[in-house]
């Protein structure tokens, strides 16, 4: 039985293309996978590969024909030993429109053939492209966003066919460029003409000849999402959707705080292991200052509810800790009442338990205010997303030397940027500003944190 070769749909939106070239000619024997033709679209020149073995008995559409409709017959293959006595009659029959019935119309069925479509199909239809009816036998699979990993055929350096357009191959051969080393920008990482020209220009300019970095044929890999990451994603999405955020930023000077921190750490007793009993961090000072500022401006220690604004009696500060697969916010309870060294010791224990996944529910559930500190990563300033039902979260940047002006004179000072994210339903701009200024006062006068 003869096999029809149809004009392929090389993309979901393609309706016609140009038959640029026949790689095989009438009478040639072909095998599955052989390139038999080149098709031009508005975006690229692509090859058509055979999926059946046999002999090309007839080329219906000659090379150079433009605007060939998708699914139209372009060639016929016969099997070994099979002869076509009347090939022209077969082609005419294939292209003949479906006969019109004069009887009363019936409800359309899924198997009905649209007018103008081929009326004889000798092989199962491939995956359909939207709006195009049955896809041709040789159509390449369309790229979709749902594809988990898209792999292009690896370039080979032993003379095998590279995944590139014919024009790109010819230019690469003329310019002495190894096509397998050229990064492709076409569909599925295919190398096109512009890629080869770019490779030529970059290689000549850098003095590296034709040696280029090759594109990874696997475009992306899909990683499974942990339950923790799903919960984080859902809560953050809800926070940005339903909590009206606004942001306040100010800078505070840390020079005095750093001096006090050095004195406290220098006074730490040495244990039997030869290590100091404690080592206070800048973040420990921030936790203490946040707690004292909440006591001074209690309006930020509150949450929005349908019944009203709930103002908390105790001062509990949540601190974001990065762990594998996400983050968690263990709580320093009564942070306003604890000494700096006690906060430092407790925070280290909570962080270690968090990373070991050993926190108890009461150690991370609740809290009236959150701190997110990225200063240790060198982040100068950022805005954090509120952790409901809390109404505020403080984003702490890195302490760094900056040029500041004081009484008309320039000097170098260590400064840190603080950004407060606020739920406007609970905290207005003026109240948020009062809180930040109170916090700034405690950090710039660290002696007040030790009283």
Q: What angle do CA 65, 67, 73 make, to 5 degrees?
A: 70
Catalytic residue among 122, 245, 339, 424: 424
Taking the CB of residue 224, how many other CB atoms lie within 10 A of it?
A: 5
H helices then E strands: how many in the chain? 9, 19
d(CA 279, CA 426): 37
- Assign residue 167 a region: left if phi > 0, alpha if psi is -120 to 50, beta otherwise? alpha
| Residue 390 burial class via C-beta count within 10 angstroms: exposed 0-12, middle 13-18, buried 19 and up | buried
- State yes or no: is 424 an active-site residue: yes
| Pairing state between β 392-396 and 326-328 | unpaired
Beta-bridge partner residues of 54: 30
HSE-CB of 247 using CA atoms within 13 angstroms: 14
Is the CB of residue 222 less than 8 Å from the CB of residue 150? no
Chain-centroid distance of CA 50 in Å reads: 36
- 3-class secondary structure for 282-336? HHHHHHHHHHHHHHHCHHHCEEECCCCEEECCCCEEEECEEECCEEECCEEECCC
Assign 128 to helix, strand or coil.
Answer: coil
Contact 4, 122 (CB under 8 A): yes
Nearest to 251 by CA among 379, 414, 436, 416: 416
Q: In Å, how far are 156, 237, 253, 413 from 264, measured between CA atoms? A: 65, 41, 19, 21
DSSP state for residue 270 in the 8-state scheme: B
Q: How far apart are CA 238 and CA 387, in angstroms?
A: 10
Give me the active site residues, please: 424
């Amino acid at each position: 039985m003869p096999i029809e070769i149809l004009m392929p749909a090389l993309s979901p939106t393609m309706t016609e293309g140009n038959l640029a070239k026949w790689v095989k000619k009438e009478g040639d024997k072909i095998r599955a996978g052989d390139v038999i033709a080149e098709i031009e679209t508005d975006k690229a020149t692509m090859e058509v590969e055979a999926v059946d073995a046999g002999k090309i008995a007839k080329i219906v559409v000659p090379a150079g024909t433009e605007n060939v409709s998708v699914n139209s017959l372009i060639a016929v293959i016969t099997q070994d030993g099979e002869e076509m006595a009347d090939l022209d009659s077969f082609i005419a029959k294939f292209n003949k429109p479906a006969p019109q019935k004069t009887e009363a119309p019936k409800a359309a069925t899924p198997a009905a053939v649209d007018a103008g479509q081929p009326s004889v199909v000798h092989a199962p239809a491939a995956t359909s492209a939207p709006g195009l009816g049955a896809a041709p036998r040789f159509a390449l699979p369309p790229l979709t966003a749902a594809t988990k990993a898209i792999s292009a055929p690896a370039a080979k350096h032993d003379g095998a066919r590279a995944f590139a357009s014919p024009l790109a191959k010819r230019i690469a051969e003329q310019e002495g460029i190894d096509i397998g080393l050229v990064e492709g920008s076409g569909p599925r990482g295919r190398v096109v003409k512009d890629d080869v020209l770019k490779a030529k220009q970059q290689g000549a300019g850098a003095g590296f000849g034709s040696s280029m970095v090759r594109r990874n044929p696997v475009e992306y890999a899909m990683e499974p999402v942990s339950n923790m990451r799903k919960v984080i994603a859902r809560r953050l999405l809800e926070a940005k959707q339903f909590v009206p955020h606004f942001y306040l930023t100010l800078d505070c000077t840390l020079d005095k705080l750093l001096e006090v921190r050095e004195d406290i750490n220098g006074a730490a007793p040495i244990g039997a292991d030869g290590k100091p009993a404690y080592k206070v961090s800048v973040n420990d000072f921030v936790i203490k200052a946040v707690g004292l500022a909440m006591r001074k401006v209690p309006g930020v220690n509150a949450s929005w509810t349908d019944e009203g604004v709930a103002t908390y009696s105790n001062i509990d500060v949540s601190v974001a800790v990065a762990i594998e697969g996400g983050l968690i916010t263990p709580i320093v309870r009564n942070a306003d009442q604890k000494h700096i060294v006690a906060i430092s010791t407790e925070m280290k224990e909570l962080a270690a338990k968090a990373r070991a996944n050993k926190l108890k529910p009461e150690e991370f559930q609740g809290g009236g205010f959150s701190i997110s500190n990225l200063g240790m990563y060198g982040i100068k300033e950022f805005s954090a997303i509120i952790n409901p039902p809390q109404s505020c979260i403080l984003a702490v940047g890195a302490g760094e030397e900056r040029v500041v002006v004081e009484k008309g004179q320039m000097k170098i000072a260590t400064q840190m940027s603080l950004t407060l994210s606020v739920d406007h339903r609970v905290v207005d701009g003026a109240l948020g500003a009062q809180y930040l200024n109170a916090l700034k006062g405690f950090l710039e006068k660290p002696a007040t944190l030790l009283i």
